[in-house]
Amino acid sequence: MKLSWQNNKYSLIIFIICTAVVFMLFDANPSHAINAVGKVHCDANQDGAMTPNDVLVEGIVVNVAGTSIVYSNSDTTDGTGFFAVPLLSTPQTYEETLDGASLPGDAVILVPSGGVYTLNVTDTSSDAGPNYWLYSSLSCVADVCGNGVLDAGEECDDGNLDDGDGCSANCTVEEHGGDGCTPGYWKNHPEEWGPTGLSPDDSFGEVFGCTLTDPDVTMMEALRSKGGGFKKCLRHGAAAMLNALHEAVDYPFTDGEVEALICAGRCDAGDLSNANELSDTCPAEN
């Protein structure tokens, strides 16, 4: 009986050891010593960069998957946009991504480029990260002037806070001036071109960033053009640009608006030619 007891005791010990080894080898929930941490932002001011105005987003699912081992886990951002995805307690390499199903339908990931963070975890004594995510979506655009979106209470929003460009720093439409000098005036008074930064020999195409003729013409040649169609466009386009750039002329269009009209082929719509007839007196006549 003594020998039998010894045999049974050894068998029990061996069984316990084997069971422990099997448990350690096949534990479906290995210990987690660290986390992949970070925050998810939405680009509220649509500038493509992380700024204090961006919105920290709740409810975004962050996924982490091993690149050389079978492992995956996830976490959902809290009210401060924070996430902490559990990682294994051994050095590993992971890929961190956002779950597209948790993002707004129009979301475009801006940071990181490519939409994937690679985590090379060698130090398991501290969390991996923080990694910061940024995506664009109209769902988080702040109702603020200068974000390029016409929000409630705004008359305009051109994406900046500059005065003098047609839309003021408080997003109200700026009243355009009532001055405009004719092509004939600018043709006969090249000495008044100075404040515009242009000269009669400047290329029309270089000034406007587009060409209407081949070969190109100078600004003075454009002013001397006679007739309708593209010649009218040359003549009034050159005059409009000089009007817009001259500090003494309170012109109804900015230089950018003039350029856009000319390059879009809207020179014969009458707007510029009418504006070029507004002034009874021009700089040299004041």
Class (C level, CATH) for 35-140: mainly beta
Q: What angle do CA 137, 140, 142 make, to 5 degrees?
A: 125
| Confidence label for 24 from pLDDT (cuts 50, 70 and 90) | very low
Model confidence at 31: pLDDT above 70 = no
Model confidence at 220: pLDDT above 70 = yes
Question: What per-residue confidence (pLDDT) applies to 175?
Answer: 63
Place of tokens 């929000």: 151
Place of tokens 């020999």: 201
Q: Higher pLDDT residue, 251 or 190?
A: 190
**Cβ–Cβ under 8 Å, residues 137 and 106:** yes
The phi-psi region of residue 117 (left if phi > 0; otherwise alpha if psi is between -120 and 50; otherwise beta) is beta
Can you tell me the distance from the alpha carbon of 62 to that of 180, in angstroms, rounded to the nearest whole number? Answer: 58
157 φ, ψ to 5°?
Answer: -160, 105
Place of tokens 């700026």: 174
Task: Give the pLDDT confidence of 74-125 residue by residue, as tens digits.
Answer: 999 999 999 999 999 999 999 999 999 999 998 999 999 999 999 999 999 9
Question: What per-residue confidence (pLDDT) applies to 115?
Answer: 95
How many other CB atoms are found less than 10 A from the CB of residue 267? 24
The residues spanned by each domain of the chain are 35-140, 143-173, 183-285
Can you tell me the distance from the alpha carbon of 185 to that of 71, in angstroms, rounded to the nearest whole number? Answer: 77
Strand-pairing partners, residue 183, are none
Task: Give the pLDDT confidence of 47-76 residue by residue, as tens digits.
Answer: 888 888 789 999 999 999 999 999 999 999
Full-model pTM: 0.45
